[in-house]
Amino acid sequence: MRPGPSPPPDDAPRLLDALRQQVRYRHYSIRTEEAYVHWVRAFVRFHGLRHPAELAQPEVEAFLTWLATERQVAAATHKQALSALLFLYQQVLHQPVAWMDDIGRPRTEKRLPVVLSVDEVARLLAALDAQPDGTLHALLGRLLYGTGMRLLEGLRLRVKDIEFERRAIIVREGKGSHDRVVMLPAALEGPLRDTLSRHHAAWRDDRARGLAGVHLPHALARKYPRAAESWAWFWVFPQAQPAVDPRTGVLRRHHGLEHAFQRAFKRALSAAGILKPATPHTLRHSFATHLLQSGYDIRTVQELLGHADVSTTMIYTHVLRLGGGAVRSPLDHLAEPHAATPASVRSAAAPAGTAPPSATPAQAAGPASYADPGDWLPFPPRRAREPAPCYRIRSPATPSCSAAATSVS
């Protein structure tokens, strides 16, 4: 009988603390840390507070099966839980997980993004303006739609990240810890200057009260001790009141919360009468789709969105192909007056050399002078197939290029 795992020493950190240490050691985002802690805690509670070192493949499969069957979570949520448990056993408990390969993965689901039309975006932003405290929310909504930023990227903007002279905005530490440059819409230059002027008073009040400066990433607070208290590092969208930092316990002013804008966005969506299941991230999808509709190339849109692979940006081309006008439905042809009579019947009834019914003078000269065959045909004529290419290397049985062209023609 195989011996069980040895219990952890008394001075070892608690499981969730060790998990947080490993996540931060690899410089994962705070969102990844919160997700992994959530799923490990749920896994432990599902098995009656037993330590994961005492569990193995059957218990992991039972937990994932419960998520898929009882909770009916989406495939992406299922994968996230599996990734958290895989990280727990490999990086925290340092146990071999060869049995993880035997656990079934959920099938990848392809979903098209929700996209708002230009009119719907205008109605939504107007509804944000009409809210009692919608000044900042409306500005943030216009910024997300005008630049394609994610919600958290917009909330984390610093004063130094907005370059009015270049009309550019620097997005720092976006998804995947990558920086990128996006345009500063000319329509937002004035509102942003006014907002920064109002927030400068809040910054001066924090300095007068002796509050700690804003949060700085990594070890910049030690490298530049006074940078956190400078105006350049202050938030573009700060909270109305200071709050306690959950990691350090220091009272300081944080950037605006995602939930506040999400609630305002939901109210504006209802007020605008938009029935689509839109979220603040829909503004990013609408930004990319409307740029492609305006004729910008896919590489430009990829750079603005910060996608590492162009295949991620290609999802918006699928949205365009399904839009109105991209492909004409056969049902629309049935609604035309000429569609009641098939083309074969009309050609048999018309004398040779005469123009089709309701032909224009330009069409009466003959089939070669028809400006638009679709004006009288139920469907546009199919283009003749080009001859097959002739290759240089050929066997004795292969005809020559001229003979092949003659046979095709």
pLDDT of residue 11: 54
pLDDT of residue 378: 43
Whether the CB-CB separation of 18 and 92 falls below 8 Å is answered with yes
Separation between Cα atoms, residue 164 and residue 183, nearest integer Å: 10
Compute the chain's Rg from CA coordinates. 31
Catalytic one of 180, 281, 338, 346: 281
pLDDT of residue 36: 96
pLDDT of residue 384: 45
**Burial group, residue 346, by CB count within 10 angstroms (0-12, 13-18, 19+):** middle
Structurally, at CATH architecture level, domain 110-325 sits in: Orthogonal Bundle (1.10)
Inter-axis angle of helices 30-46 and 75-87, to 10 degrees?
90
At the topology level, CATH places domain 15-102 in DNA polymerase; domain 1 (1.10.150)
Concerning whether 290 is annotated as a catalytic residue, the answer is no
Catalytic one of 36, 199, 307, 370: 307
Q: Can you tell me the mean pLDDT for 103-109?
A: 72
Q: C-alpha angle 219/223/246, rounded to 5°?
A: 35
Concerning whether 266 is annotated as a catalytic residue, the answer is no
Separation between Cα atoms, residue 204 and residue 207, nearest integer Å: 5
Q: Can you tell me the mean pLDDT for 247-253?
A: 86
3-state secondary structure the chain: CCCCCCCCCCCCCCHHHHHHHHHHHCCCCHHHHHHHHHHHHHHHHHCCCCCHHHCCHHHHHHHHHHHHHCCCCCHHHHHHHHHHHHHHHHHHCCCCCHHHHHCCCCCCCCCCCCCCCHHHHHHHHHHHHCCCCHHHHHHHHHHHHHHCCCHHHHHCCEHHHEECCCCEEEECCCCCCCCEEEECCHHHHHHHHHHHHHHHHHHHHHHHHCCCCCCCCCCHHHHCCCHHHCCCCCECCECCCCEECCCCCCEECCECCHHHHHHHHHHHHHHCCCCCCCCHHHHHHHHHHHHHHCCCCHHHHHHHHCCCCHHHHCHHHHHHHCCCCCCCCHHHHHCCHHHHCCHHHHHHHCCCCCCCCCCCHHHHCCHHHCCCHHHCCCCCCCCCCCCCCCCCCCCCCCCCHHHHHHHHC
Concerning whether 276 is annotated as a catalytic residue, the answer is no
Q: Can you tell me the mean pLDDT for 236-245?
A: 91
Separation between Cα atoms, residue 58 and residue 103, nearest integer Å: 10
pLDDT over 70, % of the chain: 76
Between 112 and 18, the more confident residue is: 18
Catalytic one of 284, 285, 290, 370: 284
User: What is the phi/psi pair of residue 159, to 5°?
Assistant: -60, -40
Separation between Cα atoms, residue 92 and residue 87, nearest integer Å: 7
pLDDT of residue 391: 42
pLDDT of residue 273: 95
Q: Which of 13-22, 55-64, 156-165, 372-381 has the lowest mean pLDDT?
A: 372-381
Catalytic one of 41, 79, 175, 180: 175
User: Tell me: the pLDDT tens digits for 276-320?
Assistant: 999 999 999 999 999 998 888 889 898 899 888 888 888 888 777
- Structural domain spans, the chain: 15-102, 110-325
Inter-axis angle of helices 298-305 and 280-293, to 10 degrees?
160
Concerning whether 175 is annotated as a catalytic residue, the answer is yes
User: Tell me: the pLDDT tens digits for 358-384?
Assistant: 444 444 444 443 344 344 334 444 444
Catalytic one of 89, 145, 316, 370: 316
* pLDDT over 90 at 66, yes or no: yes
Catalytic one of 20, 78, 142, 150: 150
* pTM for the structure as a whole: 0.71
Between 387 and 38, the more confident residue is: 38
Concerning whether 50 is annotated as a catalytic residue, the answer is no
277: nearest Cα among 116, 398, 103, 92: 116
Whether the CB-CB separation of 90 and 260 falls below 8 Å is answered with no
Separation between Cα atoms, residue 64 and residue 70, nearest integer Å: 10
Residue with token string 């750079």: 303
Q: Which of 20-34, 179-193, 284-298, 362-376 has the lowest mean pLDDT?
A: 362-376
